[in-house]
């Protein structure tokens, strides 16, 4: 039954509404460098595990604040290959093995002995036209791919794609964290760029809001259909204009407490929701990570080094101010994610199973894995149903793994549906229709693609 | 194996020790109206899901604070039927499909095309004697059914049942939330009725306690064996009489903080336990819901509109004052429920597996579903065993779904037991005896029926 | 597949790096008393369940603060036997049935009718040489067994074992809670003994630290490779020497708040980590139990009466001070345990999958059971992999159950690995190698045995 369902959805086009690939790849279509630059150095799932077992990041080809590492790519690849057993039972191994086999035709096992064979085979392939970004995009049968950019990004790569005549649909996502989070490392600098790119007085509250409206409109014009917000918590607020202005003034001066920074982020989620009512952009909220937990590593290597750790995340009280304001307005769509699985059945499914504006994003980050995706369905479906969820997100900068990730999600969903059929909780034809919804249709609908 | 076990329990009588049916149905035995009034309008599981997908409650036949809706029942039914696919994979669909097939003989699928056939078939059936409340009660093989009433309810319907000569056993449950929760919308009004019905000075601390004792005795005389307490948290307190009296005085004046309201509810759980030692009523504690989370919907439609959202719930510290006072007195029985599944293995099973007074209620509300009931057994059995649990509660006002709900619980429990047998963790004869305990005997014993 | 894997590991030697057996058993090799003294009275898993169902501890042969109980062992055994059905579906029944069958050849079911047969058979066996501690140790194929002692223990039993010429490897674990926890019932007394046994000024901060170093060295010299810390929380701190000294002075005077006691324990975890960098002892942190929750029972019977209840446990913020100080120093090894399963996928696997110093201990205490061990693998493997875990701990004072406990762990792990193979997430030869790692090699490596 699971196989029949899977066979019916495996070849559907890929809709990737949330991810972190680089639009420049598709704008300029230059060849990828080598196995390390393509697969290892950008993937914090890989080097976090190797780091946990005592391998220095330098030996893996990961750049530090001092610059690129001096290690030879082949040597870095050998480090990785000789420890590939560490990934047994992880989704990383699942995705990589599928990439190795399906994209590069490599079917021997990766280990110390085969490291060079892998490095050479991948390197040779990457020098051929069939492995250029656009060719892979087409081979992967991607219908639409969303990248993620800051409001201060001029979207030049996206413009270059559109003007190139190449028909691949690659759109951006409005991710304003750098200009919304007063504790972001580059907040003040980003705010200056925000003023420059919009021509608004981004250092006054109303000018700042106008700058957001202007950039959102520019993103929307370039194809964007969604915003994304990666806050430490899901806190929202609903301050009066006067209170919000006073808070903004503190934030701008840099004289704010952590609680005030939190309140400002909270207020801005509500402001973003208000703007979404006007411009129709779908909101995504990705809360719950304690970023840069490893102090020494952050000092030496900066952000995104595999040291972000989930923490308990409240939704019931956190979202209430925003929901009190806009929770029943069906023009708004807010997609919620979590790193705290205990919230699935306790908070998220009940919230999404009630509020018209809320939908549940798929199992995210650490939980985007066979066991994690299975728990997501087991713990949300009975209260929120399938139709308050939004299909799959690959959420990756590992471009080559996109088909493998969607494939894993399709397999897990089909296995879950097949179990419902076998337990007489769903009819076969309903399962088949739902499988296609989960694999393809819901993502298009939820993200207004 | 699961089938053999299930076959041995499927026809056992239904013991329903906790629910929300209307005793007037059985007192006066009048026919039910139509499919909407019987199945849709009273079931917040159904309209919460439809509301989450943008259907206004008015179109579903749900009354607002302004009064009953103007929608025709048939039109409301069509709204529901045309979106029945939203319930795929939910327990609502499981229960309803069984009701449609077993009670009404409807085996085509409910959708837009069959909406009228359903509405007409159900309506015609309801006009026949076989579908009157008492006839259904007998057909369903219900041995005892508990309803839930406030202390201010005169129990007239229950008296009418007893005096009618009809032998169905229908008893009430003492649910004092309206006169215990200072933040209840009708607290002051209920307190006045409490004084009236008892003749006690319910506005003085000792008169108030005496009023409780008097109504508990009246309930017990009418067959009640249990109380029920639906508090926001599981907090208990053990104040001195002087402290309790001072707190009560604040509460009566309406000049209390949220913390004082919480403390009063907490103290009253301990007072209820103290009274249970005398009168033998079993206590049920149902904590953890954030009630009426949707502010606008509460303003327009009132309580119980599908907008109650679970939140993290502490038991270890919350129950300690009550347990310090009465935790080792085996005359007392306290049945604990949760909406926070993370507490199953962490707090509830260890507490129930130690304290003589504590038992675990079954998977509740959002978790009363195949996956939820399975998780309950998987996460509590190894620490609390089966014999610190209390059988199944249907907890429903959807009378027709009672057999389907008990049936689902029996299937899930038998599947769990069969897995233990197949993994050599339980012998077959032990599984058979335990299956009957879970389906029938434990509920009678735990609720002292 | 699961059976093939299990067959390949079932006869591997037992490595037991964390437990609570009495070294005097092996030092003096005297016969065990009877079934009650051997199996029932020391096992709080058993009497907690019986107590929860209303059986007084006195009737089970459990000593109170007043002294040993007056009940005859045979009568206590009958109490237990006649309620053995309460343990259906629990790991206690699983372990005991295996002990009865494999160690004593008892294959009829334990109940009221067979109680005496069991008592007599076990009693007779215990009087034979084959059931002396050393003979059982050898029969059980134990390669190494760690006990747990306080720093104030002179390790005489361990010395006696070493000097006896018997080759069994039995080592201690350094468990300094009594001299680290200012709220420990015997803290002041233990501190005096600590001064006596070390000759250091244990009532001054630097003398106190020197006393730790001295005892750790003595333990290490006697074979110890690990320390263990059973704190209420996982809090760590990194105070300056001056702050730590001031805090120690308060603690010594007995004039400290609960928050200061917590801070002292937190600081001492960091001090212990600092010492581990020097002497190589592996740290184990076992947080999260609310000890002695039952006030009356603690007053009458003391600690360890089955009344310790888990509570929510934070790791992300709690461990940060220690990790900021030493988290990247691969010489240090810290093994984390939890009683809060919601932390597996949310906090523990991400932490262990990143920090070089962290590893995950196995499913612990209430979760050391088939369902609990399965959840551990399902919820940690995808993020932390297998190689950031450390094999199995039996953590028991029930010596006879050690083989059964390791056997259960091997079965569960093999079943999990077999599922990965069947879902094409792992190759067969990888599963076989991993099975042996989980059953044997990882424990030796992680505990530096």
Tokens for C249? 């002075």
Strands A334-336 and A358-360: parallel
Tokens 């078939």 label which residue? B121
Neighbour-count burial for A89-112, b at 16+ CB within 10 Å, e otherwise = bbbbbbbbbbbbeebbebeebbee
What is the predicted pLDDT for the residue at A375?
98
Confidence of residue C273 (pLDDT cuts 50, 70, 90): very high
- Say whether B294 and A354 touch across the interface (CB within 8 A): yes
Q: Bridge-partner residues for A358, per DSSP?
A: A334
| Three-state SS at B143 | strand
- Say whether C91 and B382 touch across the interface (CB within 8 A): yes
- Of B69 and A85, the one with more pLDDT: A85
CA distance C315 to chain B (A): 16
- Say whether A316 and B309 touch across the interface (CB within 8 A): yes
Residues of B with CB below 8 A from A355's CB?
52, 294
- Say whether B371 and A388 touch across the interface (CB within 8 A): no
- Map out the domains of chain B as residue ranges: 2-30+132-446, 33-131
Average pLDDT, integer, range A422-445:
98
The mean pLDDT of chain A is 97
Task: Supply φ then ψ for residue B189, to 5 degrees.
Answer: -65, -45
Nearest CA in chain A to C355: A52
Confidence of residue C17 (pLDDT cuts 50, 70, 90): very high
- pLDDT > 90? residue B42: no
pLDDT in tens, B395-406: 999 999 999 999
CA distance A407 to chain C (A): 13
Neighbour subunits, B (≥3 Cβ pairs < 8 A) = A, C
CB pairs under 8 A between A and B: 113
What gap in Å lies between CA B61 and CA B75, rounded to an integer? 9
Mutate to test the interface with B, among C49, C89, C404 (most CBs of B within 10 A): C89
CA distance B358 to chain C (A): 8
What global pTM score does this model have? 0.98
What gap in Å lies between CA A258 and CA A275, rounded to an integer? 26
Spatial neighbors of A177 by CB under 8 A, at least 6 apart, are A150, A184, A229, A230, A231
What is the predicted pLDDT for the residue at A441?
98
- Which residues of A lie closer than 8 Å to B, measured between beta carbons? 312, 314, 316-317, 320, 323-324, 327-328, 330, 342, 345-347, 349-356, 358, 378-379, 381-388, 420, 423, 425-427, 430, 433-434
Nearest CA in chain A to B93: A425
Q: Is residue A5 within 8 Å of A437, Cβ to Cβ?
A: no
- Give which of B268, B245, B242, B252 is closest to B182, Cα–Cα: B252
CA distance B93 to chain A (A): 8
- Say whether A323 and B297 touch across the interface (CB within 8 A): no
Mutate to test the interface with C, among B330, B334, B383 (most CBs of C within 10 A): B383
Classified by CATH at the fold level, domain C2-30+132-446 comes out as TIM Barrel (3.20.20)
Q: Is residue C288 within 8 Å of C340, Cβ to Cβ?
A: yes
Task: Give the torsion sign (CA, B59, B64, B66, B69).
Answer: positive
pLDDT in tens, A112-171: 999 999 999 999 999 999 999 999 999 999 999 999 999 999 999 999 999 999 999 999
Nearest CA in chain C to B384: C49
CA distance B320 to chain C (A): 8
What gap in Å lies between CA A2 and CA A8, rounded to an integer? 10
Average pLDDT, integer, range C201-209:
98
- pLDDT > 90? residue B79: yes
Distances (CA, A) of C421 to A409, C197, C321, C427, C429: 18, 54, 40, 6, 10
pLDDT in tens, B120-136: 999 999 999 999 999 99
pLDDT in tens, C97-124: 999 999 999 999 999 999 999 999 999 9
| Three-state SS at C106 | coil
What is the predicted pLDDT for the residue at B90?
98
pLDDT in tens, B428-446: 999 999 999 999 999 999 9
Residue in A90, A297, A370 nearest the CB of C385: A90
Across chain A, how many H-helices and E-strands are there? 23, 9
Residues of B with CB below 8 A from A345's CB?
341, 366-367, 372
Judged on CB neighbours under 10 Å (0-12, 13-18, 19+), C109 is middle
Confidence of residue A42 (pLDDT cuts 50, 70, 90): confident
Count CB atoms within 10 A of the CB of residue C10: 14
Average pLDDT, integer, range B65-94:
96
Angle between the A428-436 and A402-422 helix axes, to the nearest 10 degrees? 160
Neighbour-count burial for A337-370, b at 16+ CB within 10 Å, e otherwise = bbbbbbbbbbbbbbbbbbbbbbbbbbbbbbbbbb
What is the predicted pLDDT for the residue at C7?
98
pLDDT in tens, A373-418: 999 999 999 999 999 999 999 999 999 999 999 999 999 999 999 9
Task: Supply φ then ψ for residue A198, to 5 degrees.
Answer: -100, -20
What gap in Å lies between CA C87 and CA B335, rounded to an integer? 20
Confidence of residue B112 (pLDDT cuts 50, 70, 90): very high
What gap in Å lies between CA B323 and CA B181, rounded to an integer? 21
- Say whether C294 and B354 touch across the interface (CB within 8 A): yes
Q: Is residue C229 within 8 Å of C177, Cβ to Cβ?
A: yes
Distances (CA, A) of B258 to B184, B229, B265, B303, C122: 12, 18, 11, 19, 60
- pLDDT > 90? residue B212: yes
Neighbour-count burial for A271-310, b at 16+ CB within 10 Å, e otherwise = bbbebbeeeebbbbbbbbbbbbbbbebbeebeeebbbbbb
- pLDDT > 90? residue B69: no
Q: Is residue A419 within 8 Å of A381, Cβ to Cβ?
A: no
Tokens for B125? 């059936």
| Three-state SS at A107 | coil
pLDDT in tens, C47-72: 999 999 999 999 999 999 999 888 99
Q: Is residue C420 within 8 Å of C378, Cβ to Cβ?
A: no
What gap in Å lies between CA A420 and CA A7, rounded to an integer? 18
Confidence of residue B201 (pLDDT cuts 50, 70, 90): very high
What gap in Å lies between CA B230 and CA B189, rounded to an integer? 19
Residues of B with CB below 8 A from C109's CB?
427
Superfamily of domain B33-131 in the CATH hierarchy: uronate isomerase, domain 2, chain A (1.10.2020.10)
pLDDT in tens, A213-229: 999 999 999 999 999 99
Judged on CB neighbours under 10 Å (0-12, 13-18, 19+), B109 is middle
CA B287 to chain centre: 12
| Angle made by CA atoms B308, B310, B316, in degrees to the nearest 5 | 140
The mean pLDDT of chain C is 97
Angle between the C91-98 and C402-422 helix axes, to the nearest 10 degrees? 120
Q: What share of chain C is helix, strand, coil (3-state, %, to 5)?
A: 55, 5, 40
Across chain B, how many H-helices and E-strands are there? 23, 9
- Say whether B317 and C371 touch across the interface (CB within 8 A): no
- Which residues of B lie closer than 8 Å to C, measured between beta carbons? 312, 314, 316-317, 320, 323-324, 327-328, 330, 342, 345-347, 349-356, 358, 378-379, 381-388, 420, 423, 425-427, 430, 434
Task: Give the torsion sign (CA, C206, C210, C216, C219).
Answer: negative
Residue in A295, A310, A370 nearest the CB of C425: A370
Tokens for B18? 């906790």
Residues of C with CB below 8 A from A53's CB?
356, 387-388
Task: Give the torsion sign (CA, C155, C160, C163, C165).
Answer: negative
CA distance A323 to chain B (A): 7
Average pLDDT, integer, range A224-241:
98
What is the predicted pLDDT for the residue at A69?
87
Q: Is residue B96 within 8 Å of B39, Cβ to Cβ?
A: yes
Q: Which CATH class is domain C32-131?
A: mainly alpha
- Which residues of A lie closer than 8 Å to C, measured between beta carbons? 48-49, 51-54, 85-91, 93-94, 109, 290, 293-297, 306-312, 339-342, 366-367, 369-372
Mutate to test the interface with A, among C236, C316, C383 (most CBs of A within 10 A): C383
CA B195 to chain centre: 27
Give me the CATH code for the A32-129 domain, please. 1.10.2020.10
What gap in Å lies between CA B428 and CA B356, rounded to an integer? 29
- Say whether C372 and B384 touch across the interface (CB within 8 A): no
| Angle made by CA atoms C346, C350, C356, in degrees to the nearest 5 | 150
pLDDT in tens, B18-31: 999 999 999 999 99
- Give which of B122, B304, B130, B150 is closest to B216, Cα–Cα: B150
- pLDDT > 90? residue C42: no
Strand residue runs (E) in B276-392? 282-285, 289-290, 309-310, 334-336, 358-360
| ipTM score for this prediction | 0.97
- Give which of B270, B266, B310, B303 is closest to B288, Cα–Cα: B310
| Three-state SS at B277 | helix
């Amino acid at each position: 039954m699971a196989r029949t369902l899977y066979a019916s959805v495996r070849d559907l086009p890929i809709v990737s509404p949330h991810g972190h690939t680089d639009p420049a790849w598709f704008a300029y279509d230059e060849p990828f460098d080598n196995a390390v630059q393509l697969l290892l150095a950008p993937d914090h799932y890989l080097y976090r595990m190797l780091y946990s077992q005592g391998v220095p990041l330098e030996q893996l080809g990961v750049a530090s604040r001092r610059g690129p590492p001096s290690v030879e790519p082949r040597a870095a690849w050998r480090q990785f290959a000789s420890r590939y057993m560490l990934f047994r039972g992880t989704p990383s191994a699942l995705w990589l093995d599928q990439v190795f086999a399906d994209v590069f035709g490599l079917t021997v096992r990766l280990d110390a002995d085969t490291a060079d064979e892998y490095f050479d085979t991948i390197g040779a392939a990457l020098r051929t036209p069939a492995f250029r970004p656009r060719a892979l995009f087409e081979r992967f049968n991607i219908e639409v791919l969303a990248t993620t950019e800051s409001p201060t990004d001029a979207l030049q790569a996206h413009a270059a794609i559109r003007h190139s005549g190449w028909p691949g649909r690659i759109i951006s996502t409005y991710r304003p964290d750098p200009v919304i989070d007063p504790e972001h490392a580059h907040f003040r600098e980003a705010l200056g760029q925000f003023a420059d790119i919009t021509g608004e007085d981004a250092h006054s509250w109303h000018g700042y809001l106008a700058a957001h409206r202007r950039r959102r409109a520019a993103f929307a014009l370039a194809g964007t259909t969604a915003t994304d917000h990666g806050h430490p918590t899901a806190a929202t607020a609903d301050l009066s204009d006067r209170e919000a202005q006073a808070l903004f003034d503190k934030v701008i001066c840099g004289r704010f407490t952590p609680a005030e920074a939190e309140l400002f982020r909270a207020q801005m989620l509500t402001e973003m929701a208000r703007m979404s009512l006007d411009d129709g952009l779908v909101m995504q909220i990705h809360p719950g990570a304690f970023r840069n937990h490893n102090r020494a590593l952050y000092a030496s290597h900066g952000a995104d080094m595999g040291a972000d750790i989930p923490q308990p995340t409240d939704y019931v009280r956190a979202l209430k101010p925003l929901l009190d304001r806009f929770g029943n307005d069906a023009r708004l769509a807010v997609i919620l994610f979590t790193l705290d699985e205990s919230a699935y059945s306790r908070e998220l499914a009940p919230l999404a199973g009630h509020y018209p504006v809320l939908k549940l994003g798929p199992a995210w980050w650490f939980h985007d894995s066979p066991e994690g995706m299975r728990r997501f369905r087991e713990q949300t479906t009975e209260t929120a149903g399938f139709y308050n969820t939004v299909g799959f997100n690959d959420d990756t900068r590992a471009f080559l793994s996109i088909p493998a990730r969607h494939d894993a999600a399709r397999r897990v969903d089909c296995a879950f549906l097949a179990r419902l059929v076998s337990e007489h909780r769903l009819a076969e034809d309903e399962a088949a229709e739902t499988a296609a919804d989960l694999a393809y249709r819901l993502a298009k609908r939820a993200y207004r693609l």
